[in-house]
Amino acid sequence: MRLSVLHVTLAQALFAPRAIALIGASGDAAKHTARPLRFLRKHGYAGRIVPINASRSEVLGERAWPSLAEAPGEIDHAFVMTSGESVEHALEECGARGIPVVTILSGGFADAGAEGAARQARLVARARALGVRLVGPNSMGVIDIPGRVPLTVNAVLEIDALPAGTTSVVSQSGAMLGTVLSRGAPRGLGFSKLISVGNEADLGVGELVDILADDPATQVVLLFLETVRDSARLAAAARKASAAGKPVVAYKLGRSRLGEALARSHTGALAGADAAVDAYFRDCGILRVELLETLIEIAPLLCGRSPPRLSHAARVAVLTTTGGGAASVVDRMGMLRLETVVPDASLRARLGALGVPNLDSPIIDLTMAATDKRYADVLETLLDSPACDAVLAVVGSSAQFHPQLAIEP
């Protein structure tokens, strides 16, 4: 019997499902296939949970059904945790019930060679015929922290409380969702939606970024990428997000030959030449970061801001209270092809009026002349100058012993 699911958008079925089916839910709390049920209850999911287990009538104290056909009510999202040929059978049951979104944990598809890729192609073709959208295969799930929808097997959800925020994450590595959450929580960094796309057989990074561009709970989008499968779709989505004032930031593997090979083996990805990827990101306005730590920590800096689209190398003014510290920063900037601004005549005149010496250097060093007011006045002058695209303020040890000066000089 096919039940019609009314008035449910793709975004709602993904992130705010009214009922979730857990196909293959285990009654053994130690197994990873028991985690979604535990996590949904632990973190306060308000909708119906429908465990499906062919051999048990009860799973972790919850009523279970032997098949989807026997389960009651409409279901918006199914999480398939079975393996082998049973995945195809589960998809057929989901289609028969009119379930709009199916997330597939199981691997053995495009991540498992030519035979697996053929299985995946058949799975996608059947899903399209049934009108079902797929996340995965090889996906660890979907999480909406503010909405209390932790539909995942990722062990990071054992954390008692996850801070909510306005940063969303789309990752081609399911485990990296746990890394982002576990590293972000101690820093007080909150997240909104997190999606493990797996093999991207159907729903991919580009379409999900497009959805997040329309999501009022998302202000910054972070991407953990092994490859770019649909470059046109992602570029259009990134430009849409940027136009909405939502920066898109990517950390992409495959800079080295070994990294490229590992990325290819993980999800069946083709990583692509790194220089071409750099150019592609610049063209569509995606900010690329070199370190995973940067990906995790950059979101608060970008919230409500968009990186400027410049036709020239970024001109950066350096304001410091430590000459040595600033020199190390300038050295790093040079490696990143950022241009350090030497004040022009107009800017020298304005800074000179504030009592700033040595204006023929690319580093504006206030070490011997710094006061709270002078630092603030110089910073405002640099921020107002059309000769600068950005200002890098190096505070030195004051950041440790007088943190208020670093935040509100």
pLDDT grade for 268, boundaries at 50, 70 and 90: very low
| Predicted model pTM | 0.85
Residue 37, pLDDT above cutoff 50: yes
CA 42 to chain centre: 23
- Domain membership of residue 151 (yes or no) is no
- Domain membership of residue 114 (yes or no) is yes
Between the CA of residue 364 and those of 179, 330, 371, 385, what are the distances in Å? 38, 12, 14, 14
The CATH code of the domain that includes 115 is 3.40.50.720
Q: In 26-173, which residue ranges form alpha helices assigned H by DSSP? A: 35-42, 86-97, 113-130
Q: How high is the pLDDT of residue 340?
A: 86
Q: Are residues 228 and 322 in the same domain?
A: no
pLDDT grade for 405, boundaries at 50, 70 and 90: low
What average pLDDT does range 314-327 have in this prediction? 80
Placement of tokens 């997240």 in the chain: 191
Q: Are residues 69 and 185 in the same domain?
A: no
Q: Are residues 239 and 262 in the same domain?
A: yes
Q: What's the pLDDT tens digit per position in 281-311?
A: 999 999 999 999 999 999 998 987 776 677 7
The CATH code of the domain that includes 207 is 3.40.50.261
Q: What's the pLDDT tens digit per position in 108-166?
A: 999 888 999 999 999 999 999 999 999 999 999 999 999 999 999 999 999 998 899 99
User: Higher confidence at residue 33 or residue 406?
Assistant: 33
What average pLDDT does range 68-88 have in this prediction? 95
User: Higher confidence at residue 260 or residue 346?
Assistant: 346
- Domain membership of residue 265 (yes or no) is yes
Q: Are residues 197 and 327 in the same domain?
A: no
Q: In 16-138, which residue ranges form alpha helices assigned H by DSSP? A: 35-42, 86-97, 113-130
Q: Are residues 184 and 277 in the same domain?
A: yes
Q: In what order do the strands lie in the sheet with 101-104?
A: 48-52, 19-23, 77-80, 101-104, 133-135
Residue 85, pLDDT above cutoff 50: yes
Residue 254, pLDDT above cutoff 60: yes
pLDDT grade for 1, boundaries at 50, 70 and 90: very low
Q: Are residues 212 and 296 in the same domain?
A: yes
CA 98 to chain centre: 29
- Domain membership of residue 148 (yes or no) is no
Q: How many helices (H) and strands (E) does the chain have?
A: 16, 18
- Domain membership of residue 382 (yes or no) is yes
Residue 389, pLDDT above cutoff 50: yes
Q: Are residues 6 and 129 in the same domain?
A: yes
Parent domain of 235? 163-307
User: Do 192 and 213 contact (CB within 8 A), yes or no?
Assistant: no
Q: How high is the pLDDT of residue 5?
A: 45
Q: Are residues 87 and 195 in the same domain?
A: no
Q: Are residues 302 and 322 in the same domain?
A: no
pLDDT grade for 397, boundaries at 50, 70 and 90: low
pLDDT grade for 270, boundaries at 50, 70 and 90: very low
Distance between CA atoms of residues 117 and 1, nearest Å: 31
206-209, long-range: CB < 8 A, 24+ apart: 206/230, 206/232, 206/233, 206/234, 206/235, 206/236, 206/237, 207/233, 207/237, 208/170, 209/170, 209/234, 209/237, 209/238, 209/240, 209/241, 209/248
Q: Are residues 8 and 34 in the same domain?
A: yes
**Lookup: tokens for 378:** 């110089």
Q: End of a domain among 260, 290, 307? A: 307
- Domain membership of residue 143 (yes or no) is no
**Lookup: tokens for 68:** 């989807």
Placement of tokens 């705010």 in the chain: 16
Q: How high is the pLDDT of residue 331?
A: 82
Q: Are residues 125 and 41 in the same domain?
A: yes
Q: How high is the pLDDT of residue 404?
A: 57
Number of domains in the chain: 3
pLDDT grade for 274, boundaries at 50, 70 and 90: confident
DSSP for residue 64? -
Strand partners, 170: 195, 223
What average pLDDT does range 16-38 have in this prediction? 97
- Domain membership of residue 319 (yes or no) is yes
CA 197 to chain centre: 11
Distance between CA atoms of residues 236 and 218, nearest Å: 18
- Domain membership of residue 154 (yes or no) is no
Residue 271, pLDDT above cutoff 60: no
Q: End of a domain among 67, 102, 137? A: 137
Q: In 268-371, which residue ranges form alpha helices assigned H by DSSP? A: 274-284, 292-297, 299-302, 323-335, 345-352
Q: Are residues 195 and 250 in the same domain?
A: yes
Q: End of a domain among 120, 137, 154? A: 137
User: Higher confidence at residue 10 or residue 399?
Assistant: 10
